[in-house]
Each structure stands twice: as C-alpha cells, then as structure tokens.
Amino acid sequence: MKILVTAKRVEDPESKIKVKADGSGIVQEGLKYKINPFDEIAVEEGLRLAAKHGGEVVVVSIGPKEVQEQLRHALAMGATKAVWVNHGGALDPMSAAGLLKAVLEREKPDLAILGKQSIDDDQNQTGQYLAEWLGWSQATFASKVESLESDAEKAKTPAIHIAADGKSAQVVREVDNGLTTLSVKLPAIVTSDLRLNLPRYASLPGIMKAKNKPIEELTPAALGVDASPQIQVVKLSAPPPRKAGVKVGDVQELFTKLKNEAKVI
Amino acid sequence: MERSGVEALYRLDDALSAEERAVRDAVARVVDGEVLPVIGRHFREGTFPAQLIPRLGELGVLGANLTGYGCAGVSNVAYGLGLQELERGDSGLRSFASVQGSLVMYPIHAWGSEEQKQRFLPAMAGGTCIGCFGLTEPEAGSDPGSMRTRAVRDGEGWVLDGSKAWITNGTVADVAVVWAKTDDGGPDSVRGFLVEKGMTGFAAREIPGKLSLRASWTAELSFTEVRVPARNVLPGVQGLRGPLSCLNNARAGIAFAVTGAAIACFEAAQAYAAQRRQFDRPIGSFQLTQEKLADMLERIVQAQLLGLRLLRLKDEGKASPVMVSLAKRANVRSALEVARSARTILGANGITDDFPPLRHALNLESVLTYEGTHEVHTLVLGKAITGIDAFG
Ligand SMILES: Cc1cc2nc3c(=O)[nH]c(=O)nc-3n(C[C@H](O)[C@H](O)[C@H](O)COP(=O)(O)OP(=O)(O)OC[C@H]3O[C@@H](n4cnc5c(N)ncnc54)[C@H](O)[C@@H]3O)c2cc1C
C-alpha cells in the first residue's frame, strides 16, 4: 500500500520565540527549525503501517528550499521518496489543503496521514479541508489506547488498523471523554494526535541513505493551484511577561499566602 | 544565550552540511533524552550506563566514519559532531565510542582480513560486540616502544604473554586488539592480535579508585600463555605504525569532541550566573563573573573552529599528525580550563554531581593524559618546530 505523510517546517518549540516590535511576525534571526512534531508522529505511523502491510511512504512538504531539510529528516527515518512543493509565499490551511489535494491526486495513495495541526499557528483545519475537497473519508486525532499495559499489548491493538482486504481502516481517535473507534473507507485522510506513537530517532545510516533518495520538485503553477491565502495575519502579540515568583520560608507561610494573598484556599 | 547560542555566534551551522547538522542533532537528541537524566548517578556510583550501548548501536554512531560492513559512512566532521554531543553527556560515554570506533573498528577495517571484517565490524557497529584497545602497559605509557607483551609463534598460531593497563572497556570487551612484540622484539616487530573473551589465559580486572571517568570501564588485562589462532592476527600492519595510526585517528575526533564538555559547563555556568543572587543582584552582573564567561565562550569558539578545520582536512586526506597534536593539546586544555572556571561560578554547588562542571573537569584530567599526554604532544610540536627530538 502507498501512504502519504506530511512534514511541515516549523519553529523549534525549544527556541525562544520573540514577536517583532510592530507585531507583523516573529523574529527569525537565530531561530532553529524542525519538522512539526505532529507530522513526525504521522511519518512514524506511516512507516509502521508500511512495514506491516508492505508498500511505500511518500512524504510531502510545502515551502521554500529550506523545507528539504524536513523532507530529508523523514527520508532518514525511512520514507521512500519525497515531494517538495516549492512555494515561498504565505500559507493558510486552505491554500495548504489545495496544494496537498493536487499532490494526492497525482500520487494516489491509499491513505494520507497528516499532523492534526502544526505547532506554529495551531489551526487544525488542513486535514479536514483536504478530506472534504477530495470527497475522502476522514478520521481526525488518531491516538493510542493509553491504558494498555505493555508495548506488546499496544502493538496488538494499533490505533490505525487496515482491514485484510485493504478497503477500509479502523482508527482509534481521542475525544474529550475518552476514545472512539471509527471505520473509514480507503482512501482516507487521518490526522495524528500526540499520543499516537513515539517517533523513532533518525539513525546515522538512515541520514546517509536519505541523501540518495529522490525529492521531486513541484510548484503551485505546475500543480495548477492558486496558493494565495484567504486568511491574513493582522497582528501577533506576545503573552504578558510572567511576574517573578516569591520564595516562602516554610509551609505555614505558604498556607497564609495562599489563603490571604492568592485567596485560593 | 541558549543552546544554539554558543554555535550561533559565529554561524557555525553555515559551515556544516545538512547531513552534518542532522547527525549532530540526532545524537544530541539521544544525549538530552537518555544520557543527561542518568549520568550524574552513574558517575557517583562508578558505573557505565550500559543500557545505552544498544541505543548507540541503533543510532549508528559507533564507527560511523567507516564505510561498509554496517557502518554509516559519515564524514569525519559529522562524526566529530556526534562525538561532541556524546562528550556533552559525559566523557565516559564518548570514550566508549572512541575506543570502539577509532581504536578497534578502525584497525580491523584498515588492516583486518575479510573474514575478520565480516565477523566483527557489523556486530561492533550495532553495539552487540564490544571492543577494547590494549597498548599501554604498567611499565610502558608514553613510550609504547618499551612494551613487554610478547607473542611467540606456535605452529600456525601464536602464544601471547604479558599485561596491559588502563584499558577502557577492558572488563566487558568481547574482543581486545592487543599490540605485542614478536620475533626479535624490536619496535618494528609489533603486531595486532584479536584476543577474544573466553580465550584461555586471558583475564581482565577493573581498576578501582578512579576519581575521573567514573562512568567508564577501565581495566588491567593479563595474558598467560594465551593461544591466538592465525586468523586472529591483523594481517595488514606491522610495527608501531599500527597502534599510532589508531591513536592519531582517535585523537582527531577527541580534539573536536572535548568542546562538548566545555559547552555543557559553559551553559551550566551561564544559567547559574543569571539565577544566583548575592549582594542583591545576579552574580552574572559582576564583572569578574562576566570575564570568566567571556573567556569560556572565547575558548569554546576557538576550539570549535580549530577542530572543524582539522576534521575538514582529515576529510580531504590532508591532516598530519602534527596538526592532530596541536589540536588535541589546545582543545583539551581549553575544555579543562572552561570546566574549572565554570566550577567556580557555581560556588559550593559546583563541587557536587548535581551540576556538570566538576564531573567534566575530573573527566578531562584523563583526556589530558590519554591519547598522548599534554606533554608528549608538546614534544611532537617542539620537534616539528625546531627539528630537535626532545623525547628521550
Ligand atoms: C581513563 C584512562 C583510560 C585509558 N584507556 C586506555 C586504553 O583504552 N588503551 C590504552 O592502551 N591506554 C589507555 N590509557 C592509558 C594512557 O594512554 C596512558 O595513561 C598515557 O599514554 C600515559 O602513560 P602513563 O600513564 O604511563 O604515564 P607516563 O608515560 O608514565 O607519564 C607520566 C608523566 O610523565 C610525562 N612524560 C613521560 N615521558 C615524557 C617525556 N619524554 N618528556 C616529558 N614528559 C614526559 C607524561 O607527560 C606524564 O605527565 C588510558 C588512561 C586513562 C587515564
């Protein structure tokens, strides 16, 4: 089977993010970038499914030439080939979904796994648009059954289970009060939640093999897609700085402060 | 300045290829997630974090600069960056990798028979077979030419007698590359023997009482009439050139790697200076503290630039032993100075194993001595500069 996964380039969550003084964006100088963590989980799930059922994992990223680093990362983890949509402009969920739709129509995967959202602007919409526009079934927030004891038990009940005939998949998804299990017809769009799996580390031999794996370059024009965004970011503002804490001498003082100053007890 | 800050100042990332950065980041991730949380305890208890060996194997960092036989085939720069990250965790972990890769896998790769390569290299790259390197003896340290361990022909094979001291990984090794004199006993008669665990007459004993590299195995090896079959002799090398090439190879990596320890110490001192208050202000606001931090950063940047140049030259096949001596000598000394200085910024907390500086400073005392002592490298440079040999 053929599985398509996404690898968006986002700011490293461990970098210190500063908003520009005029609120027009963030300061990019000195920032580190990495693959969106939800996408890394999608890549991992794709690799596990491909290992189990045979087949290949194709990874897609949209952005300027730097996104090839994230594609190489997914290739180093074990993806078979990459598609790079070379696009320098701003993106919103609709323009990303529009480009991905065109890529999916070319690649014709049996299943596409996307991160449920990207940690830069937390929109949580791309997978949903994509499924709607393709007319495919969708299962968002795919997640692992956490209560199972051992890794072996967990492996027996994967969150995404492909039916023997390859025509449908069962997906466990995380909802507010627990888990639901959906059965979706393939091809389908699945989005990954945080607890779906723990992505493998890229190994050094994997990094070297990735150098020789193909990255196909496409452009919005070649895909016939108008990628101009419909949403414009008007202003960014940083959260107010946190006030410094105070040290208390003993438990009694802590109680007094919680009671009289914080008024929480 | 955050983690990336040390390297960002001189845009070091711009001098690295995408794979080199990827290798560094892949190793850093394992160190951050699995080494830093446990290493203080291992140092305190004097144990090697053996649970990490399979992880190093999976990661493919062991012998990663070699090609074929299950090795990753990364550049020497990428390999050095990986070692730097291991050293940022602990020099004991990095020493494990240096011995395995540069001192055991390298000679098998360079001078081993095809059968030896197939038998050992893939398993060693995967971390399922552990190696050690036996050159130093109780009576032969800086002067390995005076070694006493002897191998005498016995039909097709050899019989080995003697002892080795200060052998990293010695107590757990599945295979020891042991250098011994043969025939007439001259320095040119030295050959490399692959002594395997379980061979009759081969014993290893852990050396107790170390105050440095506590999270590392260091052993004394003894050989009493050990019968080594002909297929376990390295066919491709004879003379001291063998062990010295291994050391030269390892030293280049170490010269780069030690900045990892310095970075860990600098970061600890920087964070502490920002948060610790005395005389109503952060200690980082005192000019004396700032001078220490400025000196530390300067040494780290200098060491990285020198190390990077050395490994680039090594990748181009142009690194000479004199270059390696200069870089090993300079960078280990710098790292040690950074560690000691960081220790003072942390005050009393600095003498505990809750913080990295003293652990690194103690470790670096070994690094100053092994792989050619600081003094021996001075003599190598002195000879290169003046043309006069001051060794003996
Ligand atoms: C933790 C640790 C791990 C080690 N691991 C290994 C290993 O895996 N395999 C291995 O083979 N060895 C290993 N060694 C041994 C190491 O390589 C030796 O300690 C080193 O070569 C120095 O030898 P020595 O200790 O006998 O000191 P010596 O050679 O006795 O030197 C003592 C002092 O005299 C100085 N000195 C000696 N000769 C001269 C000279 N001509 N001029 C000026 N000064 C001189 C030295 O610089 C030093 O300061 C390890 C050592 C340590 C501490």
Q: Which residues of A touch B18 (CB under 8 A)?
A: 68-69, 72
**Token reading at B233:** 């002799």
Residues B150 and B87 in one domain: no
Categorize the per-residue pLDDT at B87 as very low, low, confident or very high, splitting at 50, 70 and 90: very high
pLDDT of residue B4: 53
B14 touches chain A (CB under 8 A): no
Helix (H, G, I), strand (E, B) or coil at B63: coil
**Which residue matches tokens 């968006």?**
A8
Domains of chain A: 2-260 (3.40.50.620)
More confident residue, B204 or A163: B204
pLDDT of residue A176: 84
**Sequence-distant (≥ 6) Cβ neighbours of residue B158 within 8 angstroms:** B151, B152, B182, B193, B227, B228, B230, B233
User: Residue A175 pairs with which residues in a beta bridge?
Assistant: A178
* Average pLDDT of the residues of chain B: 96
Task: State the SS3 of A134-172.
Answer: HCCEEEEEECCCCCCCCHHHHHHCCCEEECCCCCEEEEE
Helix (H, G, I), strand (E, B) or coil at B18: helix
Residue B18 has pLDDT above 50, yes or no: yes
pLDDT of residue A16: 82
Mean pLDDT for the stretch of residues B247-255: 95
Alpha-carbon distance of B258 to B310, in angstroms, equals: 14
Residues B95 and B215 in one domain: no
Residue of B121, B321, B127 lying closest to B240 (CA atoms): B321
pLDDT of residue A239: 85
Residues B365 and B249 in one domain: yes
B29 touches chain A (CB under 8 A): yes
Tens digits of residue pLDDT in B275-314: 999 999 999 999 999 999 999 999 999 999 999 999 999 9
Query: From ligand 1's centre to the CA of B242, what distance in Å?
Result: 18
Domain of B258, CATH number, reads 1.20.140.10
Residue B205 to chain A, least CA–CA distance (Å):
34
Residue of A47, A63, A57 lying closest to A11 (CA atoms): A63
- Residue B94 resides in a domain: yes
- Give long-range contacts, CB 8 A cutoff, 24+ apart: B34-42: B35/B86, B35/B89, B35/B90, B35/B93, B36/B89, B39/B89, B39/B90, B39/B93, B39/B215, B39/B359, B40/B353, B40/B354, B40/B356, B40/B359, B42/B90, B42/B92, B42/B214, B42/B215
Residue of B nearest to A211 (CA): B19
B16 touches chain A (CB under 8 A): no
Residues B15 and B99 in one domain: yes
Residues B121 and B142 in one domain: no
Q: Pairing state of beta strands A111-115 and A2-6?
A: parallel
Alpha-carbon distance of A260 to B65, in angstroms, equals: 63
Categorize the per-residue pLDDT at A145 as very low, low, confident or very high, splitting at 50, 70 and 90: low
Residues B162 and B32 in one domain: no
Tens digits of residue pLDDT in A178-216: 889 999 999 999 999 998 998 998 999 999 999 999 999
Task: Tell me what percent of the residues of chain A surpass a pLDDT of 70.
Answer: 95
Q: Which residues of A touch B60 (CB under 8 A)?
A: 203-206
More confident residue, A160 or B8: A160
* Average pLDDT of the residues of chain A: 91
- Residue B27 resides in a domain: yes
pLDDT of residue B289: 98
Q: What sign for the dihedral angle of Cα B262, B265, B271, B275? A: negative
Query: From ligand 1's centre to the CA of B141, what distance in Å?
Result: 5
- Residue B77 resides in a domain: yes
Residues B73 and B166 in one domain: no
Q: Write the residue with the smallest CA distance to atom 7 of ligand 1.
A: B167
Inter-chain residue contact A203 with B60, CB threshold 8 Å: yes
Q: Write the residue with the smallest CA distance to atom 43 of ligand 1.
A: B375
pLDDT of residue B2: 46
Residue B1 has pLDDT above 50, yes or no: no
A16 touches chain B (CB under 8 A): yes
Mean pLDDT for the stretch of residues B97-113: 98
Residues B360 and B288 in one domain: yes
Tens digits of residue pLDDT in A57-72: 999 999 999 999 999 9
Residues B211 and B293 in one domain: no
Domain of B221, CATH number, reads 2.40.110.10
**Which residue matches tokens 């059965």?**
A183
A207 touches chain B (CB under 8 A): yes
**Token reading at B275:** 């948060």
Q: Which residues of B touch A199 (CB under 8 A)?
A: none
Residues B219 and B261 in one domain: no
Last residue of a domain, one of B80, B102, B125: B125
Chain B from 112 to 151: CB within 8 A of any A CB: none
Tens digits of residue pLDDT in A222-256: 999 999 999 988 999 988 888 777 788 889 989 88
Last residue of a domain, one of B74, B107, B125: B125
User: Of B22, B58, B71, which is closest to A76 when you measure between CB atoms?
Assistant: B22
Which residue out of B25, B62, B67 would a mutagenesis test of the A interface target, given it has the greatest number of A Cβ atoms within 10 Å? B25
- Residue B279 resides in a domain: yes
Query: From ligand 1's centre to the CA of B135, what distance in Å?
Result: 11
User: Read out DSSP for B252-280?
Assistant: HHHHHHHHHHHHHHHHHHHHHHHH-EETT
Residue of A nearest to B33 (CA): A201
Task: Tell me what percent of the residues of chain B surpass a pLDDT of 70.
Answer: 99
| Atom from ligand 1 closest to the CA of residue B392 | 41
B26 touches chain A (CB under 8 A): yes
B157 touches chain A (CB under 8 A): no
Q: Write the residue with the smallest CA distance to atom 19 of ligand 1.
A: B370
B61 touches chain A (CB under 8 A): yes
More confident residue, A15 or B350: B350
Inter-chain residue contact B26 with A202, CB threshold 8 Å: yes
Domain of B41, CATH number, reads 1.10.540.10
Maximum mean pLDDT: which of A165-179, A245-259, B225-239: B225-239
pLDDT of residue A151: 64
Tens digits of residue pLDDT in B50-76: 999 999 999 999 999 999 999 999 999
Residues B288 and B196 in one domain: no
Looking at the 3D structure of chain B, how many domains does it have? 3
Residue A30 has pLDDT above 70, yes or no: yes
Ligand 1 binding pocket, CB closer than 6 Å:
B 99, 133-136, 141-142, 166-168, 213, 218, 366, 369-370, 373, 375-376, 379, 391-392
**Sequence-distant (≥ 6) Cβ neighbours of residue A141 within 8 angstroms:** A116, A173, A174, A175, A191, A192, A193
- Residue B251 resides in a domain: yes
Inter-chain residue contact B19 with A207, CB threshold 8 Å: yes
**Which residue matches tokens 């993106």?**
A91
- Residue B391 resides in a domain: no
Domain of B274?
241-386
Inter-chain residue contact B74 with A208, CB threshold 8 Å: yes
- Residue B155 resides in a domain: yes
Inter-chain residue contact B8 with A30, CB threshold 8 Å: yes
Residue A173 to chain B, least CA–CA distance (Å):
28
Residues B174 and B153 in one domain: yes
Last residue of a domain, one of B71, B93, B125: B125
| Atom from ligand 1 closest to the CA of residue B142 | 29
